[in-house]
Structure 1
Amino acid sequence: MRAIVTGAASGIGLAAALRLAEAAREWGTGPARIALVDIAPGPLAEAADAVRAKGAEALAIQADLADADAPARIVAQAVAAFGGLDALVSNAGVNPKASLQECAVDQYDWVQAVNTRATWLLGRAARPALSESKGAIVATASVAGLNPTPMCAAYSVSKAALIMLVRQMALEWGPDGIRCNCVSPGSVPTGMSPERYATDEGLALARSRNPLGKVGTVDDIAEAIAYLVGPKSGFVSGTNLVVDGGMQVTLAQRGAAGLVRSSRPS
């Protein structure tokens, strides 16, 4: 398993890299070789050490995915180091909290560049190597890409676009043998929104948003990513795998209840 994981210094990215290191042994593909990409050098070095502790080879690549030239450099470095590529996990993301009215133009463009454009450029650069290996691309989207979310204006738009981008990749690159999918997490504590889960009230609210009454973990999302790049998902492509404890069901039920109430005569 030769993989690139972006946003790999913490949160879902780190969990995915660690899970792939374990999964490679389970799949019988030998020790994993993982390129970990992040903008933060200190946490990135620690993440690489954690992956090596799992028995995998780790290549740490510091990069800013808002830079349009970075994706090609990342892919070239990983392919040169590993002799090819089997999986691209495009996970890096940013979410400056702002409404549509408050969001500055440069801030909006930055979010789209990191959250959406980088996946396109990474995938385009990785396509030759993934065509050779018949590999897989998985991007981390969000339930915010399925539902408008307060104070996440640019983020929600970027994740909705990312879901469609991955479907377009699946259509165009499927004939090369490349599978392209998304994972959309629900309520999962990460460094992106620590304040949301910092209090008992915040945790209770997160649990109330899905039928299971649970808050997800980064390991839940990492497991979904590993499935989508692994050998048991060989006929899965163009899919957005929602991992939210059933939050979409809750939202649909609440919406339906609202429609029922609004249709009643006054």
Structure 2
Amino acid sequence: MQRFTGKTVIVTGSSSGIGQGTALRFAEEGANVVLNSRNRKDCEKVAQDLDEMHTLIVEGDVSEKGFSQDIVARTVERFGALDVLFSNAGIASSGPFAEEDDETIDDMLAINVKGMLYMCRDAFPELKKTGGSIICTSSVSGLGGDYGQALYTASKGAVTQLVRSLALEWGRDGVRVNAVDPSFTKTDMTEGMDANEELMQAFMDRLAIKRPAEPRDIAGAVTFLASEDAGYITGVNLPVDGGISASNGQPDFRLYK
């Protein structure tokens, strides 16, 4: 498939994991891809697999004021337009909320919330011109609570509601806004967790599809939402979670007969 030939896509947080996998998928489908992370060298490693003529690297932190305007301006200068924003950059943390320090709280809200706000706001004028779309990375943690992750859950809950509100506000302008909501995905961010057999078994007990997600699983959902195939879909927070959110949390009664 070449659904994005001639289209231009910004992927924030694209140096690894879901961002990297999705940037590669957009490129495979013909897009001009703008890579972003706080470390240019990490993006350069990703760019080695891409066509230089159709790739731009913009180093920077999405939470810094002015960066979102810069990446959009440089994108349009290089490729002439912007068709898709995949606002993916984010961080995670866990632990007792009463023990979270101010710096951790500030960092989480700056990157996961402010970064999304800035990117969406400053991409909108260009997306309005092209009838483009935004896909944000939220989480199943933005759809329901998690033990020991109050701060992360709060940040992703904000993204979930941002997507819904922007879809309502910008639909008349021809701009669609959606989110993907992954659960456990094998990335650098979750490295080491899969070595915890007890934790992995707990996930397997909840997953309808009995394996963790790979970045390609999320990339497939993102590119669908960005494509014309999803042209009448907006305001959706799409769980890409192997069925975890399909459960109401009760145990599998079949195991106790």
Under a length normalisation based on structure 1, what TM-score does the superposition of the two structures give? 0.88
Q: CA-to-partner distance for each residue in 1:6-40, whole Å, 9 max, x for gaps?
A: 0000000000001111223xxxxxxx211101012
Match of 1:76 in 2: 73
Structure 2: which amino acid aligns with 1:50? D
Change (3 A) 1:235 1:103: same
Question: Which residue matches 2:175?
Answer: 178
Corresponding residue for residue 45 of structure 1: 44
Distance across 1 between alignment mates of 2:65 and 2:150: 22
Contact 1:21 1:56 (8 Å CA) reproduced: no
CA distance in 1 between counterparts of 2:189 and 2:148 reads 13
Give the structure 2 partner of residue 27 of structure 1.
none
| Residue-by-residue CA offset, 1:178-215 (whole Å, 9 max, x unaligned) | 00000000121111121221244443332222122221
Deviates more, 1:206-215 or 1:1-10: 206-215
Alignment of 1:1-266 (within 5 A): 1-24=7-30, 32-52=31-51, 57-250=54-247, 252-254=248-250
Return the alpha-carbon distance in structure 2 between the equivalents of residues 69 and 153 of structure 1: 29
Deviation per residue, 1:42-67 (Å, 9 max, x gap)? 21111122232xx8711011101221
* CA–CA distance in structure 2, aligned partners of residues 98 and 231 of structure 1: 41
How many angstroms apart in 2 are the aligned matches of 1:43 and 1:34? 15
Partners of 2:90 and 2:246 lie apart in 1 by 25
Q: 2-side partners of 1:10 and 1:44: how far apart?
A: 8
Aligned-residue sequence identity (percent) comes to 34
Identify the range of structure 1 (126-135 vs 147-156) with the bigger mean alpha-carbon deviation. 147-156
Structure 1 counterpart SS, 2:33? strand
Q: CA deviation at 1:109?
A: 1.8
Q: Conserved in 1, the CA contact under 8 Å of 2:142 and 2:158?
A: yes
Aligned-partner residue type, residue 4 of structure 1: I
Of the structure 1 ranges 55-64 and 6-15, higher mean CA displacement relative to structure 2 is found in 55-64
Gaps of 5+ in 1: 25-31, 258-266
SS of aligned partner of 1:241: strand
Matched residues in 1 for 2:252 and 2:69: separation? 46
Alpha-carbon distance, 1:106 to partner: 2.3
Which one is further off, 69-78 or 171-180?
69-78
SS at match of 2:91: coil
> CA–CA distance in 2 between the matches of 1:48 and 1:174?
33
Shift of 1:152: 2.2
The question of whether the paired residues in 2 share the 8 Å contact of 1:141 and 1:159 is answered with yes
Equivalent residues of 1:179, 1:237 under 8 A apart? yes
How far is 1:97 from its partner?
2.6
Unpaired runs of at least 5, structure 2: 1-6
Secondary structure of 1:51 counterpart: coil
State the one-letter code of the partner of 2:240.
Answer: V
Distance in 2 (CA, whole Å) between partners of 1:164 and 1:98 is 24
Aligned CA-pair RMSD: 1.8
Further displaced range: 119-128 or 200-209: 200-209
- Larger CA deviation: 177-186 vs 189-198: 189-198
CA contact (8 A) 1:75 1:126 kept: yes
